[in-house]
Amino acid sequence: MSAKIAILPGDGVGPEIVAEAVKVIGCLREDYGLNVELEEAQIGGVAVDATGEPLPEATLRLARQADAILLGAVGGPKWDTIERPRRPEQGLLAIRAALGLFGNLRPAILYAELAGASALRPEIVADLDILIVRELTGGIYFGEPRGVRTLETGEREAYNTLVYRESEIARIARLAFALAAKRGARLCSVDKANVLESSGLWREVVTRLASEYPQVEISHLYVDNAAMQLVRAPKQFDVIVTGNLFGDILSDCAAMLTGSIGMLPSASLDERAKGLYEPVHGSAPDIAGRGVANPLATILSLAMMLRYSLNQPQLAERVESAVGRVLAEGYRTADIYTTGTRRVGTREMGDAVTGALRTGASC
């Protein structure tokens, strides 16, 4: 039976970069026998324009039926002034919540060829390969009560609640332990257990679970120290697991170690490894429609889909090594271009990756 992939290009550069990942899927079908069917739907601003909703019912239905979802990006200045519940970004939050996508995987990988793009010295970041696992559906972004109230003095006060249940912590920790076991077998749990009760429980649950994964070496860091260590010596990490708020910040920090937002993929998984795969970057309205966006983050998101939802780890590696090969051959979109390399547009980069994949198939 074929697997079904929902394709949600979204806004801005979304359709341009997703088209290149779809090209790669076409190559995997023809040359490697990948058995998948694709169906496209709208999300974000384009969906608001067409239906009034950032996540139309038909899109959610398709996403529920699909085995995996590939998303481009949502948002843009055109929709920045409409009321908040109908903004494109709400479509993204809604689909994550509706599908129970609690585990956000953000690899930060720096291909040696791009080490010069990092703000850090090449010897600190070259060949970096770390994975941040962020809890995505709990914590302070969802905790109740929340709001803004006016005190008796007339002054306003805003409040949010950082709450984690043991089951939520155990679920994300198990995912992180399992991922670490398949990589470098080192897991660092990040919290603020010296100050926050929710972090105290977090540390307790992670520590208890560690005995079920004796092959994984566990360590704990406070979030402030983790931020420092990420910039000081990032290669000390293999997998990092943390809550929603800390993960949001640390994963962007880790992303920037690589220097190029156009290279960073992500996955958001549910309990049965169904996932939504998308580049870390946004809709890049400043370059949309010009054919210059880097499609590699989306193509690498597809590789994550092959590995985590479609159970095709060898094809995932093929795609990742095809990306490595085009970089080694000097292909660069504008965001990663340096003198002496070969500047190409979105389509040419997609073509180069499928070309490298095809060559790989015949040898």
Chain residues binding ligand NAD by CB under 6 A are 13, 17, 73-76, 89, 92, 261-262, 278, 281-287, 293-294, 297, 335
Which is closer to ligand NAD, CB of 17 or CB of 205? Answer: 17
- CA 218, CA 190: separation in Å to the nearest integer? 11
Burial environment of residue 292 by CB neighbours within 10 A (0 to 12, 13 to 18, 19 or more): buried
Q: Strand 239-242 vs strand 129-135: parallel, antiparallel, or unpaired? A: parallel
One-character DSSP codes across 89-137? HHHHHHHHHHTT--EEEEEEE--GGGGGGSSS-HHHHTT-EEEEEEE-S
Q: Is 192 a catalytic residue?
A: yes
State in angstroms the smallest separation of the CB of 189 from ligand NAD. 26
Q: Is 49 a catalytic residue?
A: no
Which is closer to ligand NAD, CB of 239 or CB of 261? Answer: 261
State in angstroms the smallest separation of the CB of 171 from ligand NAD. 23
State in angstroms the smallest separation of the CB of 74 from ligand NAD. 4
Q: Is 111 a catalytic residue?
A: no
Q: Is 252 a catalytic residue?
A: yes
Of the residues 192, 277, 331, 335, only one is catalytic, namely: 192
State in angstroms the smallest separation of the CB of 360 from ligand NAD. 24
Q: What number of other Cβ atoms are within 10 A of residue 119's Cβ?
A: 10
Which is closer to ligand NAD, CB of 171 or CB of 281? Answer: 281
- Measured in whole angstroms, the distance separating CA 275 from the mean position of its chain's CA atoms is 10
- CA 72, CA 45: separation in Å to the nearest integer? 12
Which is closer to ligand NAD, CB of 79 or CB of 202? Answer: 79
- CA 324, CA 327: separation in Å to the nearest integer? 5
Any idea what DSSP says for residue 86?
Answer: G
Of the residues 32, 141, 222, 337, only one is catalytic, namely: 141
Q: What are the tokens at 125? A: 């970041």
State in angstroms the smallest separation of the CB of 181 from ligand NAD. 29
State in angstroms the smallest separation of the CB of 15 from ligand NAD. 12
Torsion of CA 149, 153, 154, 158, to 10 degrees: -30
State in angstroms the smallest separation of the CB of 245 from ligand NAD. 17
CB–CB of 124/230 below 8 Å? Answer: no
- CA 280, CA 252: separation in Å to the nearest integer? 9
Which is closer to ligand NAD, CB of 75 or CB of 138? Answer: 75
Which is closer to ligand NAD, CB of 289 or CB of 313? Answer: 289
Of the residues 11, 67, 238, 248, only one is catalytic, namely: 248
Cβ contacts of 184 within 8 Å, gap of 6 or more: 238, 239
Of the residues 129, 252, 270, 351, only one is catalytic, namely: 252
Beta strands in the chain (DSSP E): 3-10, 36-40, 68-73, 103-109, 129-135, 147-150, 156-159, 186-191, 217-222, 239-242, 265-269, 275-279, 331-332, 342-343
- Which residue type is seen at 348? E
Which is closer to ligand NAD, CB of 238 or CB of 248? Answer: 248
- CA 281, CA 262: separation in Å to the nearest integer? 7
Any idea what DSSP says for residue 227?
Answer: H
Give catalytic residues, as residue numbers. 141, 192, 224, 248, 252
